[in-house]
């Protein structure tokens, strides 16, 4: 309908246009399936504005022109809810779920044949939306469950909340009074973008999406709320007039809310019985990370409303529903202290000492604080209550402080002026965030250096763990990595927890490492920017460490993947007198691999230009061994399959890489076929 702006325009035309616009915005915002173009929408919207300018007394609050109203003065009014806004009891695993089921079966035997609905437990903020004659008249927070705050003007700014219920199916009616419950939240990507924007504007950032949703809804100025891309999912009818019969089950309620135009989630599931609920649970655990918004569990609801009502409550929790909570990944705890770790290259990294707290089934006592700038930017103080997050394999990290709970006793943190391990003055390089300890003999750096030297990708000395390394350094049994090779069994036998057999094994592993090829020794030296791949390239060109030491800047830079920074780091490393001393010691103890380049060059031809991906367990070769073998023959090894992959070398129990290889038509070899290629 395109209305003509003439005198004959009736009030009914105005109502019709408002209705249409409400439908268009539902299609656009809720379904993301617009039925008209943006410019057509704008055209109609302006038409509506023009009518309203002509007849200001026609304007009502459900007009799309009225989404952003005037700021609330002072504070929000209180509103009594039409029915208690209930909460949920929690279950933490399937045993708890079964126990809940057993309890309610005993109370009501209809439960034994009951169906259930699984819904995401949205990690947001509950809101209560009141509609009269299909028009939004009030929006409230949950408050204490009986009385909430009137946040109508903020609620109205959410484009997915209908100001006028669109009612998408003419055969369905809506009760004259309808009160709907939903959860307002912020999608993760929007949260990150918002924080970035706030940070750039020098404003306070939010700790997590939930706090952001809550903070945004409690702004006094709806203009601010409207600038936050808040979303809502509706899941319950709290109250309604009895002019229309409403669905008798939760599953139908969700369908009903959807058909009349409320945003609902497609993730909800119908379960025939409790066993089906249990079967669905693992999929939810997996799905959790892939969702664009945070959920903190799954709500299981007995489908029949009548059964839920008859089961009654325990306190504020209905017996007929339960929330199965995911293991939390973000919890709050107290920051007891900030300490500093010294890395292999001397970088100082601050970390948090926490009051131990369980996160996702793991006790966490420490968490990284990233760098000193982070502490200053977030204004993290010792004694603060902080949010700590642990997701997947990521090292736990401090998200930020909870400033509202400060007592005043918290202490601002000042970065150390001296290395906490050796007392040397710390240094800062232009353009870098990090602070460094530049003392090459720093014991903390030595520990990290040794850890790296013995690691699997470097000299691969099995059995020489961090505990023993720390003891060796503490007791001054070793001062550098070369000293490992002169250790005697008596030295080790004096250490805590080292019996004869173990000592023998460790010494044998140290001795065996002398035979490691040059590329591994280069990796083990830990030159900045020189990883395993680069070390292999260098060993392919230089026969030993003397040759590498003699390499010039232009010569190094001429190599693939070596830029000026890495070339300079190599030159600097060899120029350092402490390293010259170390090299002499290594030579004297017999750690001095020499590459027979003729042989390398001859074999290098075979796989040159080819890229391999290794997956699964190979019958005779370890993955690292296979990698070295391929590299020694001139091939490249990559971690993921792409169109550029020449072959996938596949062993047993290969995972998704094998599927990807077939999908991309990449040839697959087994170990024997690859060895055949080398002949
Ligand atoms: S139902 C009887 N369903 O979780 C109705 N609540 O821990 C009780 N929540 O206060 C609530 N997603 O804010 C229900 N799909 C969902 C939910 C949900 C999130 C929140 C809600 C409630 C809290 C209880």
Ligand 1 centroid vs 87 CA: distance in angstroms? Answer: 6
pLDDT digits (tens, 9 = 90+) for 496-533: 878 888 889 999 999 999 999 999 999 999 998 888 88
Residue nearest to atom 9 of ligand 1 (CA): 121
Kindly state the DSSP code that residue 3 receives in the 8-state scheme. -
In this structure, whether the domain defined by 330-428 belongs to CATH 3.40.50.720 is answered with no
Please give the Cα distance from 265 to 156 (Å, whole number).
Answer: 20
Tell the residue number behind the tokens 């009914």, with chain if given: 12
What string of DSSP letters covers 371-388? -HHHHHHHT-EET-EEEE
Can you give the pLDDT at residue 345? 80
How far from the centroid of its chain's Cα atoms is residue 403's Cα? 23
Return the domain boundaries, the chain. 11-66, 90-325, 330-428, 443-515, 518-588, 611-678
Atom of ligand 1 nearest to the CA of 308: 2
C-beta 254 within 6 A of ligand 1: no
Ligand 1 centroid vs 210 CA: distance in angstroms? Answer: 14
C-beta 294 within 6 A of ligand 1: no
At 495, list the tokens: 């250490």
Please give the Cα distance from 257 to 169 (Å, whole number).
Answer: 12
Q: Which of residues 667 and 592 earns the better pLDDT score?
A: 592
Pairing of strands 348-359, 313-314: unpaired
Q: Does the pLDDT at position 454 exceed 70?
A: yes
Q: Dihedrals φ, ψ of 89, to 5°? A: -80, 155
At 311, list the tokens: 């089961």
Q: Does the pLDDT at position 379 exceed 60?
A: yes
Phi-psi map region of 634: left, alpha, beta (phi>0 left; psi -120 to 50 alpha): left
β-sheet bridge partners, residue 26: none
Please give the Cα distance from 388 to 333 (Å, whole number).
Answer: 7
Q: Dihedrals φ, ψ of 331, to 5°? A: -135, 165
Can you give the pLDDT at residue 404? 87
CA angle 645, 559, 610 (to 5 degrees): 20
> What is the mean predicted confidence (pLDDT) over 328-340?
91
> What is the mean predicted confidence (pLDDT) over 58-83?
87
Residue to probe by mutation, ligand 1, list 92, 299, 308, most atoms within 8 Å of CB:
299
Percent of the chain with pLDDT over 90: 54
Which one, of 148, 147, 180, 176, lies nearest residue 162 by Cα?
A: 180
C-beta 293 within 6 A of ligand 1: no
Can you give the pLDDT at residue 193? 87
Say if 443-515 and 518-588 have the same CATH topology.
yes
CA angle 82, 262, 226 (to 5 degrees): 90
In this structure, whether the domain defined by 90-325 belongs to CATH 3.40.30.10 is answered with no
Architecture of domain 11-66: Orthogonal Bundle (1.10)
Q: Does the pLDDT at position 603 exceed 60?
A: no
Ligand 1 centroid vs 181 CA: distance in angstroms? Answer: 9
Please give the Cα distance from 533 to 408 (Å, whole number).
Answer: 52
Please give the Cα distance from 568 to 552 (Å, whole number).
Answer: 10
Task: Report domain 443-515's class.
Answer: mainly alpha
Q: Does the pLDDT at position 301 exceed 90?
A: yes
Which one, of 490, 494, 495, lies nearest residue 465 by Cα?
A: 495
Please give the Cα distance from 673 to 471 (Å, whole number).
Answer: 46
Ligand 1 centroid vs 182 CA: distance in angstroms? Answer: 8
Of the candidates 18, 121, 258, 378, the residue annotated as catalytic is 121
Residue nearest to atom 12 of ligand 1 (CA): 121
CATH of region 518-588: 1.10.150.20
Please give the Cα distance from 347 to 419 (Å, whole number).
Answer: 10
At 271, list the tokens: 């379960």
Q: Does the pLDDT at position 334 exceed 60?
A: yes
Please give the Cα distance from 236 to 123 (Å, whole number).
Answer: 16
Ligand 1 centroid vs 110 CA: distance in angstroms? Answer: 23
Ligand 1 centroid vs 88 CA: distance in angstroms? Answer: 6
Q: Does the pLDDT at position 2 exceed 70?
A: no
Between 206-215, 387-396, 536-545, 645-654, the lowest mean confidence (pLDDT) is in 387-396
C-beta 86 within 6 A of ligand 1: yes
As a whole number, the mean pLDDT across the chain is: 89
C-beta 88 within 6 A of ligand 1: yes
Please give the Cα distance from 528 to 539 (Å, whole number).
Answer: 16
Can you give the pLDDT at residue 468? 87
Residue nearest to atom 23 of ligand 1 (CA): 87
pLDDT digits (tens, 9 = 90+) for 79-123: 999 999 999 999 989 999 999 999 999 999 999 999 999 999 999
Q: Which of residues 606 and 511 earns the better pLDDT score?
A: 511
C-beta 299 within 6 A of ligand 1: yes
Pairing of strands 435-437, 611-615: unpaired
C-beta 122 within 6 A of ligand 1: yes
Can you give the pLDDT at residue 645? 87
Please give the Cα distance from 536 to 522 (Å, whole number).
Answer: 8
| CA 167 to each of CA 130, 172, 421: distance values in angstroms, whole numbers, following the listed order | 16, 7, 69
Residue 3: pLDDT band by 50, 70, 90 thresholds?
Answer: low
Contact between 459 and 469 (Cβ < 8 Å)? no
Which one, of 143, 149, 136, lies nearest residue 85 by Cα?
A: 143
Can you give the pLDDT at residue 605? 64
C-beta 318 within 6 A of ligand 1: yes
Ligand 1 centroid vs 185 CA: distance in angstroms? Answer: 13
Residue to probe by mutation, ligand 1, list 126, 140, 144, 257, most atoms within 8 Å of CB:
126
Question: What topology does CATH give the domain 611-678?
Answer: Rossmann fold (3.40.50)
Can you give the pLDDT at residue 7? 58
| CA 578 to each of CA 24, 440, 521, 538, 560: distance values in angstroms, whole numbers, following the listed order | 73, 8, 17, 22, 29
CA angle 126, 132, 137 (to 5 degrees): 55
Atom of ligand 1 nearest to the CA of 119: 15
Q: Does the pLDDT at position 5 exceed 80?
A: no
Q: Which of residues 17 and 441 earns the better pLDDT score?
A: 17
DSSP reduced 3-state for 48? helix
Residue nearest to atom 18 of ligand 1 (CA): 121
pLDDT digits (tens, 9 = 90+) for 29-48: 888 788 888 888 888 999 99
Can you give the pLDDT at residue 297? 93
Please give the Cα distance from 661 to 676 (Å, whole number).
Answer: 21
Positive or negative, the CA dihedral 136, 141, 145, 146 is negative
Residue nearest to atom 13 of ligand 1 (CA): 126
Contact between 607 and 635 (Cβ < 8 Å)? yes
Q: Does the pLDDT at position 22 exceed 70?
A: yes
Please list the alpha-helical segments (H only) found in 332-482.
372-378, 443-454, 466-474
DSSP reduced 3-state for 120? strand
C-beta 87 within 6 A of ligand 1: yes
C-beta 90 within 6 A of ligand 1: no
Which one, of 254, 104, 110, 252, lies nearest residue 181 by Cα?
A: 254
Tell the residue number behind the tokens 């691969």, with chain if given: 460
Can you give the pLDDT at residue 6? 56
Residue to probe by mutation, ligand 1, list 88, 210, 254, 328, most atoms within 8 Å of CB:
88
Q: Which of residues 110 and 678 earns the better pLDDT score?
A: 110
Coarse DSSP helix, strand, coil percentages of the chain, rounded to the nearest 5 percent:
40, 20, 40
Ligand 1 centroid vs 369 CA: distance in angstroms? Answer: 33
β-sheet bridge partners, residue 230: 186
Please give the Cα distance from 143 to 151 (Å, whole number).
Answer: 11
Residue to probe by mutation, ligand 1, list 233, 268, 323, most atoms within 8 Å of CB:
323
DSSP reduced 3-state for 363? strand
Helices (H) and strands (E) in the chain, counts: 25, 26
What angle do the packed helices 443-454 and 466-474 form, to 10 degrees?
140
10 Å CB burial of residue 475 (0-12, 13-18, 19+) is: exposed
Contact between 475 and 464 (Cβ < 8 Å)? no
At 179, list the tokens: 């009160």
C-beta 91 within 6 A of ligand 1: no
Residue nearest to atom 5 of ligand 1 (CA): 86
Residue 4 appears among annotated catalytic residues: no
pLDDT digits (tens, 9 = 90+) for 217-229: 999 999 999 999 9
> What is the mean predicted confidence (pLDDT) over 277-303?
92
């Amino acid at each position: 309908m395109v209305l003509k702006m003439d005198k004959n325009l009736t009030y009914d035309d105005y109502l019709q246009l408002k209705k249409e616009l409400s439908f268009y915005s539902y299609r656009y915002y809720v379904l993301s399936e617009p039925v008209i173009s943006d410019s057509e929408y704008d055209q109609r919207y302006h038409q509506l504005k023009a009518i309203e300018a002509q007849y200001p007394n026609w304007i009502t609050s459900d007009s799309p022109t009225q989404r952003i109203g005037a700021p609330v003065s002072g504070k929000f009014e209180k509103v009594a809810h039409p029915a208690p806004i209930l909460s949920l009891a929690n279950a933490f695993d399937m045993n708890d779920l079964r126990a809940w089921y057993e309890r309610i079966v005993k109370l009501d035997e209809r439960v034994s044949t009951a169906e259930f609905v699984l819904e995401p437990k949205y990690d947001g903020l509950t809101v209560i939306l009141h509609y009269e004659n299909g028009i939004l008249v009030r929006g409230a927070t949950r408050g204490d469950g009986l009385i909430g705050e009137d946040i109508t003007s903020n609620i109205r700014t959410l484009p997915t909340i209908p100001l006028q219920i669109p009612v998408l199916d003419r055969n369905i009616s809506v009760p004259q009074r309808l009160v709907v419950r939903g959860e307002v939240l912020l999608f993760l990507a929007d949260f990150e973008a918002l924080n970035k924007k706030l940070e750039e504007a020098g404003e306070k950032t939010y700790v997590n999406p939930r706090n952001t949703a809550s903070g945004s809804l409690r702004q006094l100025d709806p203009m601010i709320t409207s600038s936050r891309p808040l979303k809502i999912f509706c899941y319950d009818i709290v109250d309604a007039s009895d002019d229309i019969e409403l669905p008798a089950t939760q599953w139908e309620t969700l369908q009903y809310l959807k058909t009349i135009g409320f945003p609902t989630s497609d993730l909800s599931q119908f379960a025939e019985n409790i066993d089906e609920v249990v079967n669905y649970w693992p999929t939810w655990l997996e799905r959790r990370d892939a969702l664009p918004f945070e959920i903190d569990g799954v709500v299981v609801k007995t489908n029949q409303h009548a059964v839920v009502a008859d089961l009654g409550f325990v306190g504020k929790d209905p017996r007929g529903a339960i929330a199965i909570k995911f293991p939390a990944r973000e919890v709050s705890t107290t920051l007891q202290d900030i300490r500093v770790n010294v890395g292999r290259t001397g970088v100082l990294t601050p970390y948090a000492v926490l009051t131990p707290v369980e996160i996702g089934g793991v006790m966490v006592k420490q968490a990284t604080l990233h760098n000193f700038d982070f502490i200053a930017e977030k204004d993290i103080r010792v004694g603060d209550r902080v949010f700590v997050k642990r997701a997947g394999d990521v090292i736990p990290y401090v998200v930020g402080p909870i400033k509202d709970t400060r007592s005043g006793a918290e202490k601002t943190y000042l970065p150390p002026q001296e290395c906490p391990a050796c007392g040397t003055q710390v240094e800062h390089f232009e353009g870098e965030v990090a602070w460094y300890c530049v003392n090459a003999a720093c014991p903390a750096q030595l520990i990290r250096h040794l850890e790296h030297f013995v690691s699997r990708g470097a000299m691969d000395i099995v059995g020489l763990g961090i505990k023993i390394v720390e003891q060796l350094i503490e007791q001054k049994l070793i001062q550098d990595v070369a000293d490992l090779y002169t250790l005697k069994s008596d030295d080790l036998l004096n250490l805590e927890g080292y019996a004869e057999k173990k000592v023998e094994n460790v010494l044998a592993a140290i001795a065996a490492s002398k035979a490691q090829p040059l590329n591994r020794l280069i990796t083990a030296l830990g030159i900045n920017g020189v990883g395993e791949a680069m070390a292999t390239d260098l060993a392919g060109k230089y026969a030993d460490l003397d040759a590498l030491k003699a390499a010039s800047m232009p010569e190094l830079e001429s190599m693939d993947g070596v830029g000026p920074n890495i070339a300079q780091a190599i030159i600097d490393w060899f120029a350092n007198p402490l390293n010259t001393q170390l090299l002499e010691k290594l030579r004297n103890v017999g750690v001095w691999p020499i590459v027979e380049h003729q042989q390398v060059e001859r074999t290098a031809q075979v796989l040159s230009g080819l890229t391999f991906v290794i997956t699964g367990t190979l019958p005779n070769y370890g993955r690292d061994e296979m990698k070295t073998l391929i590299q020694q023959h001139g091939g490249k090894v990559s971690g993921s399959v792409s169109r550029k992959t020449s072959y996938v070398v596949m062993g047993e129990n290969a995972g998704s890489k094998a599927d990807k290889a077939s999908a991309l038509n990449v040839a697959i070899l087994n170990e024997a076929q690859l060895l055949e290629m080398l002949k």
